[in-house]
Structure 1
């Protein structure tokens, strides 16, 4: 016994990052429920046994795919804007602008993975629906926190409602994702973004 706890056996004969990217794109395009293990192994170029050995089951693979998406440029732009912009309004303007560019980008499936991947999940996979719902609600919480901070700093008036404002912009962003999946262009989404930002309290 070595006592290291390391797994024995040969390392996987594939590029883990590459096959995870293939799985992510497939989940993003089709959603969780409509993506089968057969679809995944075909897209990833591996056998079912290799998928289970490397990632566990379909749910575990999906969660890892979502995590990978969240650290990619198209998945991380909201957090970056909230962290980097000096004002809450500037952060939201950047988020809307970047969503308008990213969601219809033909370089990847349309829309946002965390918004669209669970729209067709059945009761048997409620865990996945709850997982994505929690991620979306976490973003809503980040918006609310940033807007509350802006109110304390005087950027928003005392009459403003940070939680309601956050819910409004979250709804707009989710709608932009769906519109992109329905074929909306970047120009259309930029117009939507401009109209949404006009609702910012003055």
Structure 2
């Protein structure tokens, strides 16, 4: 609603209520200020110009008050980065569809729905942001798969051991967010399932490249089943998430990784 103010011929008395300012924001207040200034110029009555000036002063005060007041529904201590971190842990622990808007708002300090959507746009947009945060932090344990300074075998072993350590360390949910948070779900989550599937596929391809590199440098024989061997290590990497979520310790997983790497060693060509 636009502000409704009496005409210059019936000058306002100075009461703020007579201006009936719209409470929706500064735009309406600016319009009111413009109208008052126009009446002051057009008015031939000193008394009326004085009344307009007094009301204009009140409008300015109201505008300053609104500009400085805290945003409705969002605590002054709202920390967006901390909120995203909390959301990351929720999605990681319960999966995308297992987390409600109420849970997200509560973990963010009880912000209103309006503040939530103003800050993040939607639950899906927040999940995408949370996944990006995860990949840039915890998810980097698989970066070893692409570390060209390491021998191919070490790339795989380092990725497995670092994953096992991260996924069983206290202080955050166990398992892997990429594996657990959006693997299954309704048709409405197809795009999100595609996001996590793409990350798993990228790791799968990196493992294949490790095996291929070992064949090319002569540490694995040319007749090795590249895809099959890579699939074995990929399956082990994905399985760590379920084992960690079920409570298996990092020590046991490390022992299992030692045994898994023996499959590589049995195929390897002995150095001359």
TM-score for both structures, normalised by structure 2:
0.66
Q: Aligned-residue CA RMSD in angstroms? A: 2.1
User: In 1, are the aligned partners of 2:183 and 2:197 still within 8 Å (CA)?
Assistant: no
Work out whether 1:23 is the aligned partner of 2:71.
Answer: no
Match of 1:58 in 2: 123
Determine helix, strand or coil for the equivalent of 1:160: coil
Higher mean alpha-carbon deviation, 54-63 vs 76-85, is at 76-85
- The offset of 1:146, in angstroms, is 2.9
- Once the two structures are superposed, the pairs formed by residues 4-153 of structure 1 within 5 Å of their partners are 14-45=78-109, 46-72=111-137, 74-83=138-147, 85-153=149-217
Match of 1:157 in 2: 221
Structure with higher Rg: it is: 2
Match of 1:5 in 2: none
In structure 1, stretches of 5+ residues that fail to align are 1-8
Aligned length: 193
Higher relative contact order (CA 8 A, sep 6+): 1
Select the residue among 235, 239, 258 that pairs with 1:194.
Answer: 258
TM-score for both structures, normalised by structure 1:
0.87
- The offset of 1:120, in angstroms, is 4.4
The 1:85/1:182 distance shift into structure 2, 3 A limit, reads: farther
In structure 2, stretches of 5+ residues that fail to align are 1-66
